[in-house]
Amino acid sequence: MASPFNMPDEFVQGFFKSGQSLLHAFTGMSDDAPASAGSTPVSALALAQAQAHYWQQQMALYMGMIASATGKTPEPTVQPERGDRRFSAEAWNNNAWYSLLKQTYLLNSRLLNDMVEAAGLGEKEKHKLRFYARQFIDSMSPANFAATNPDAMKTALETQGESVRAGFANLLEDLKRGRISITDETAFEVGRNVAVSKGSVVFENELFQLIQYAPLTDEVAERPLVIVPPCINKFYILDLQPENSFVRFACEQGQTVFLVSWRNPDANLGHITWDDYLEKGAIKAIEVGQAISGADKVNAVGWCVGGTILSSALAVLRARGDDPVESLTLLTTMLDFSDPGDLGVFIDEQGVSQREQTIGRGGIYSGGELGFVFQTLRANDLIWPYVVNNYLKGGAPQAFDLLYWNADGTNLPGPMYAWYLRNMYLENNLCKAGQLSMCGTPVDLGRIDMPSYVFGTQEDHIVPWRGAYRSTQLVGGETQFVLGASGHIAGVINPASKNKRSFWTDGTLGDDPEAWLATAKSQPGSWWTHWMNWLKPHAGKQIKAPKRAGNSKYKPIEPAPGRYVARHPPEVMGA
């Protein structure tokens, strides 16, 4: 199983290639590799300025240390960026040795970043270089090493070495597990204190179970809500606990909610394709939700890759002349992959071809490997704080429902994953009308002509908001774009009852997302209420809430959350 202890091939190869790129940029050396498109000679002036600034600051730091030896307290030469929590301990500021260590690290980090920016590389290569330089810089922080972390040293002394013993024990346990522990996984259990909304599984096939949730109002909307979550994690991010459950909120607003629970594929499902996720997945879920409710149409919601799957399925349905969906909601979804953000650093022809050759005709892409890739996008939040706490200080991670879900990774079928990489991330074919055939028919996103609510988040590191915005220009119906504060997960799971954060609406739609933002209005609180007000006109009339789940054809199979979402033991995850 891949993990921080066993990095994915793309990560290792990318690190190596980026190092080569930096070397070539500054030395002119070549391994007979063609220059990247848009590359330019290294900026000698920018490099000279970066070096001069570096030595000026080093001299200022040195003089400050001399002053501190005489009893004076010098102003810091360099400070961590706002929000950097690695150096919050008092010793980083009050102790001359640790202060020198911290400031030297920060100056070296900035010099390396300046060298990257001065490198004569094309934008795509430079993006990769920035990413891998950041990984190296983050990993070399003095806070990550016991001998140079004042808190770790203090804890070791106070506990007479017990923290060192506990940290080593934690490391051994995580090595067995194959990943860093980021939360107390014993504090939660699916169906006990997460994923607890009442409902029933009313349909299942080899790929997914469909959950129908129990109504929480006497009357419900005539048209139900069918939700397609991402297949790269479990669905219960939408139903963590009652106070932050999107599912519960929708039910409280009088919606009948059907939700797809994707199966965590093992070797027996190593043949599943992208088309299967459309035909046997999203299209089937819409069909069952429509049949059980008896409605003329359903309202559909897709999140992240679930939104890509749902949009692809709707394009197939419209190509067939079918029109079972009244409205479409896309949450942090990418349909145009021209700007994939940091995930793009892992995608190139060589890497995709390798995946096609190894698992493209059958096999499994490990959820642990995928989980590590996502952790590297925010290493200073999802890797290094836990290395410090768990191993250097011998601590235990706190219980946090969102991180429990984050650690509950899922595998992907190799054929589906390889096809997705090539046609979405590498070649960006989905947004080109008629370029792709799915389920035996050419597709055009422009034929998705129902009203759509497109939601992005300002700090999304997986689906950059400008990429999410691009969907408004691809689908054919009337669209509304809403931008939420925060990131890919916290921006979506922003309960209306807590009234936190903010969102932007009502900008002028067009080709330019910056023009939209410049004309948009900021609103305090959660976007959930705004979305519900948009949805209700598409939900149909009010009818009496059903007394039981399913119907004569689709009978309840088992209570929610169903066995497909059961948390597998670690040894099964990489099967």
What is the distance between the alpha carbons of residues 389 and 396, in angstroms, rounded to a whole number? 7
Closest CA to 263 of 302, 211, 208, 310: 208
Q: How far apart are the first and last CA of the chain?
A: 9
Which residue reads 């739609």 in tokens?
A: 509
**Residue ranges in 95-145 assigned as alpha helix (H):** 96-118, 123-139
What is the distance between the alpha carbons of residues 575 and 560, in angstroms, rounded to a whole number? 25
Element (H, E) at 552: none
The pTM of the full predicted model, rounded to 2 decimals, is 0.89
Which residue reads 């017990």 in tokens?
A: 162
The radius of gyration of the chain's CA atoms, rounded to the nearest angstrom, is 26
Q: Which residues contact 443 (CB under 8 A, 6 or more apart)?
A: 312, 315, 316, 319, 430, 434, 436, 437
Annotated catalytic residue, options 231, 304, 431, 439 = 304
Percentages helix, strand, coil for the chain (3-state, rounded to 5) are 50, 15, 40
pLDDT score at 5:
52
Whether omega for the bond prior to residue 561 falls within 30 degrees of 0, making it cis, is yes
What domains, with CATH codes, occur in the chain? 10-144 (no CATH), 199-365+411-559 (3.40.50.1820)
Q: Which residues contact 292 (CB under 8 A, 6 or more apart)?
A: 202, 212, 224, 258, 549, 550, 551, 554
Rounded to 10 degrees, the C-alpha dihedral 27/31/32/38 comes to -50
Q: Which two tokens stand for residue 338?
A: 């021209």
pLDDT score at 488:
94
Q: Which two tokens stand for residue 383?
A: 């890797």
The dihedral built from the CA positions of residue 325, 330, 331 and 337, taken in this order, carries a sign that is positive
Pairing relationship of beta strands 441-442 and 225-228 according to DSSP bridges: unpaired
What is the distance between the alpha carbons of residues 383 and 386, in angstroms, rounded to a whole number? 6
The tens-digit pLDDT sequence of the chain (575 residues) is 344 455 555 555 554 555 555 555 554 444 444 444 444 556 777 778 878 888 888 888 877 777 776 667 677 888 999 889 999 999 999 898 999 999 999 999 999 999 998 888 888 888 999 999 999 999 999 999 999 999 999 999 999 999 999 999 999 999 988 889 999 989 999 999 999 999 999 999 999 999 999 999 999 999 999 999 999 999 999 999 999 999 999 999 999 999 999 999 999 999 999 999 999 999 999 999 999 999 999 999 999 999 999 999 999 999 999 999 999 999 999 999 999 999 999 999 999 999 999 999 999 999 888 888 888 989 999 999 999 999 999 999 999 999 999 989 899 999 999 999 999 999 999 999 999 999 999 999 999 999 999 999 999 999 999 999 999 999 999 999 999 999 999 999 999 988 889 999 999 999 999 999 999 999 999 999 999 999 999 999 999 999 999 999 999 999 999 999 997 543 333 33
Rounded to 10 degrees, the C-alpha dihedral 173/181/354/462 comes to 180
Q: Report yes or no: 336 and 470 within 8 Å, Cβ to Cβ.
A: yes
Per DSSP, 450 falls in state S
What's the farthest any 2 CA atoms get from each other in the chain? 87
Q: Which residues contact 305 (CB under 8 A, 6 or more apart)?
A: 230, 231, 232, 333, 420
Q: Report yes or no: 217 and 536 within 8 Å, Cβ to Cβ.
A: no
* Number of residues assigned to the chain: 575
Give the C-alpha distances (Å, rounded to integers) separating 145 from 21, 117, 176: 29, 28, 22
Q: Which residues contact 294 (CB under 8 A, 6 or more apart)?
A: none
Which residue reads 């070399």 in tokens?
A: 140
Q: Report yes or no: 449 and 406 within 8 Å, Cβ to Cβ.
A: no
Q: Report yes or no: 343 and 377 within 8 Å, Cβ to Cβ.
A: yes
What is the distance between the alpha carbons of residues 320 and 195, in angstroms, rounded to a whole number? 36
What is the distance between the alpha carbons of residues 541 and 519, in angstroms, rounded to a whole number? 34
AA letter at 162:
E
Q: Report yes or no: 517 and 197 within 8 Å, Cβ to Cβ.
A: no
Closest CA to 292 of 548, 538, 559: 548
Pairing relationship of beta strands 437-438 and 441-442 according to DSSP bridges: antiparallel
Q: What is the DSSP string of 480-513?
A: EEEEESS-TTTTT---GGGT-SEEEE----SS-H
Q: Which two tokens stand for residue 556?
A: 């309840």
pLDDT score at 18:
54
Closest CA to 14 of 129, 94, 136: 129
The dihedral built from the CA positions of residue 227, 231, 232 and 237, taken in this order, carries a sign that is positive
Element (H, E) at 571: helix 570-573
Q: Which two tokens stand for residue 264?
A: 């965590």
* 304 noted as active-site residue: yes
